[in-house]
Amino acid sequence: MKSVKNVLALVMSLLLVLGMAACGGSDSDSDLAYVKEKGTLVVGITDFAPMDYKEEGSDEWIGFDADMAKAFAEDLGVEVQFVEINWDNKAMELQTKAIDVVWNGMTLTEEVKQLMGCSEPYCLNGQVVVVPAEVADQYQTTESLSGLNFAAENGSAGAEQLDALGLTYTATDTQAKALMEVASGASDACVIDLLMAGAMIGEGTSYPELTYTVQLNSEEYGVGFRMDSDLVDAFNTFWKEAYDAGTVMEVAATYGVQESVIEK
């Protein structure tokens, strides 16, 4: 499965390069004007509590990111439209204008910064190791992790950390599947986002028998637009204003992420 993905990634990057060659410089038009003209801001997301998710039995996307995206669209005077995307394809979705923004608790990695026009960071995050609660005592340090079978989302910040530590892992297509790996016993541990771990595991969640131990790094979340888009500036201005008005903290508190929000 992993090799299939690699081949895919290769072909897609070829297409991407071809595309850039074919239409180089055609992005001179204002992205902001483009979005305003069509009247909708298409937000690319995945199902990722507490940032973007749906309540049981509801069709509306909510969460810290979803609610702020709605506010941003309102600020621009356009409708918001959420599209659940395949996370591997986010850069292509943006470049082909299938979506206008990636707003889904996205870690600002070097790779992301090369592919997208990124906002200023708005949230702190880290990669944490998730293990079954009953063995958590044994894995409190980075040294204790060698020998474990890990799972991590393919190409995620967590996978990068594991690579850096020289630990091997099974690549899954979502972070949720990495959690499934541990819950089902297929892997000993997985590495996922701290914010996601906070919301998805432990008592009162879908995975009460799991817990997280070591935090491997700290990193920042940002919002991704098309390269050189003027929406980046529009976003940064909007965010500062919303922060000063207290809206950001208010929404963050609703979803329990207020401690991670970066002060502006």
Partner 1 sequence: MLMDVTLSLLEGFGTTVQLFALTLLFSLPLGLIICFGSMSRFAPLRWIIKTFVWIVRGSPLLLQVLIIFYGPGLMFGLPLLPRFTAALVAFVINYACYFSEIYRGGIQSVSRGQYEAGQVLGMTKSQIFFKITLLQVIKRIIPPMGNEWITLVKDTALVRVISVYEIIWMGESYIKKGLIWPLFYTMVFYLVFNGLLTILFGWLEKKLDYFR
Binding site for partner 1 (CB under 8 A): 8, 11-12, 15-16, 18-19, 22-23, 26, 47-49, 57, 83-86, 89, 92, 95-98, 174, 176-177, 180, 183-184, 205-207
Q: Which is nearer to partner 1, 26 or 146 (CB)?
A: 26
Q: How far is the CB of 61 from partner 1 (least distance, A)?
A: 13
Q: How far is the CB of 172 from partner 1 (least distance, A)?
A: 10
Q: Which is nearer to partner 1, 27 or 120 (CB)?
A: 27
Q: Which is nearer to partner 1, 84 or 120 (CB)?
A: 84
Q: What is the 3-state secondary structure (H, E, C) of 29-94?
A: CCHHHHHHHHCEEEEEECCECCCEEECCCCCCEECHHHHHHHHHHHHHCCEEEEEECCHHHHHHHH
Interatomic CA distance for residues 260 and 69, integer angstroms = 18
Q: Which is nearer to partner 1, 19 or 77 (CB)?
A: 19
Half-sphere exposure of 14 (CA within 13 A, CB side): 6
Q: How far is the CB of 86 from partner 1 (least distance, A)?
A: 6
Q: Which is nearer to partner 1, 14 or 165 (CB)?
A: 14
Q: How far is the CB of 24 from partner 1 (least distance, A)?
A: 10
Q: How far is the CB of 62 from partner 1 (least distance, A)?
A: 15
Task: Please return the burial class of 60, using the count of CB atoms within 10 Å of its CB with bins 0-12, 13-18 and 19+.
Answer: exposed
